Structure 1
Amino acid sequence: MKLSCIIIDDEPNAVDLLELLIHQSSEWVLKAKCYDALEAMNFLKKQAVDFIFLDINMPHLSGMELAALLPKETKIVFTTAYSEYAADSYAFQTIDYLLKPITLKRFLSAMQKIENHFQPVKIHLPRIEQNSSDYFFVRSGKTFHKILMRDILYVEGEREYIKLVSTDARLLIYRRLKEVEVQLPPPFIRVHNSFIVNTERLDKVEDNHIYIAEKRIPVSNKFRNQFMQMINGRLF
Structure 2
Amino acid sequence: MNLSCIIIDDEPNAVNLLEILVNQNTKWELLAKCYDALEAMVFLKDHKPDFIFLDINMPQLTGMELAGLLSKETKIVFTTAYSEYAAESYSFQTIDYLLKPITLKRFLAAMQKIEAYFCSRADNEKLLIPTGSEYFFVKSGKELRRILLEDIQYFEGEKEYVRVVTAASQILIYRRLKDIDEQLAPPFVRVHNSYIVNTKQLNKIQDNHIYIANKQIPVSEKFKDRFMAVIQQRIF
Is the pair's TM-score, using the shorter chain for normalization, greater than 0.5? yes
CA contact (8 A) 1:136 1:147 kept: no
Q: Distance in 2 between matches of 1:104 and 1:2?
A: 20
Evaluate the alpha carbon distance shift between residue 45 and residue 23 of structure 1 in structure 2; reply closer, same or farther with a 3 A threshold.
same
Unaligned 5+ segments in structure 2 are 137-145, 153-178, 189-197, 204-233
Q: Distance in 1 between matches of 2:42 and 2:113?
A: 28
TM (norm. structure 1) is 0.58
1:142 CA displacement: 3.5
Q: Larger deviation: 135-144 or 108-117?
A: 135-144
CA contact (8 A) 1:125 1:136 kept: no
Structure 2 equivalent of residue 65 of structure 1:
65
1:48 CA displacement: 0.6
**Secondary structure at the counterpart of residue 22 of structure 1:** helix
**Secondary structure at the counterpart of residue 21 of structure 1:** helix
Q: Distance in 2 between matches of 1:9 and 1:127?
A: 42
Q: Distance in 2 between matches of 1:102 and 1:52?
A: 16
Deviations 1:47-68 (A, max 9, x none): 1110000000000000000000
Q: Distance in 1 between matches of 2:106 and 2:135?
A: 50
Deviations 1:7-56 (A, max 9, x none): 00000000000000000000000000000001101101101110000000
Code of the residue aligned with 2:9 in structure 1: it is D
Structure with higher RCO (Cα < 8 A, 6+ apart): 2
CA contact (8 A) 2:129 2:185 kept: no
1:69 CA displacement: 0.1
1:136 lines up with 2:170 in the alignment: no
Structure 2 equivalent of residue 90 of structure 1:
90
Evaluate the alpha carbon distance shift between residue 60 and residue 145 of structure 1 in structure 2; reply closer, same or farther with a 3 A threshold.
closer
Q: Distance in 2 between matches of 1:32 and 1:140?
A: 41
Deviations 1:123-179 (A, max 9, x none): 22469889997733898744647969xxxxxxxxxxxxxxx983539xxxxxxxxxx
Structure 2 equivalent of residue 189 of structure 1:
none
1:74 CA displacement: 1.2
Q: 2:202 is matched with which residue: 168, 190, 195?
A: 168
Q: Distance in 2 between matches of 1:26 and 1:214?
A: 28
Unaligned 5+ segments in structure 1 are 149-163, 170-212, 216-236
Evaluate the alpha carbon distance shift between residue 140 and residue 34 of structure 1 in structure 2; reply closer, same or farther with a 3 A threshold.
farther
Q: Which runs of 4+ in 1 moved over 6 A?
A: 127-134, 137-140, 145-148
State the aligned residue count.
Answer: 157
**Secondary structure at the counterpart of residue 59 of structure 1:** coil
TM (norm. structure 2) is 0.58
1:60-209 correspondence to structure 2 within 5 Å: 60-119=60-119, 120-121=122-123, 122-125=126-129, 135-136=148-149, 141-142=181-182, 144=184, 166-168=200-202
1:87 CA displacement: 0.3
Q: Say what the alpha-carbon RMSD is for the aligned residues.
A: 3.4
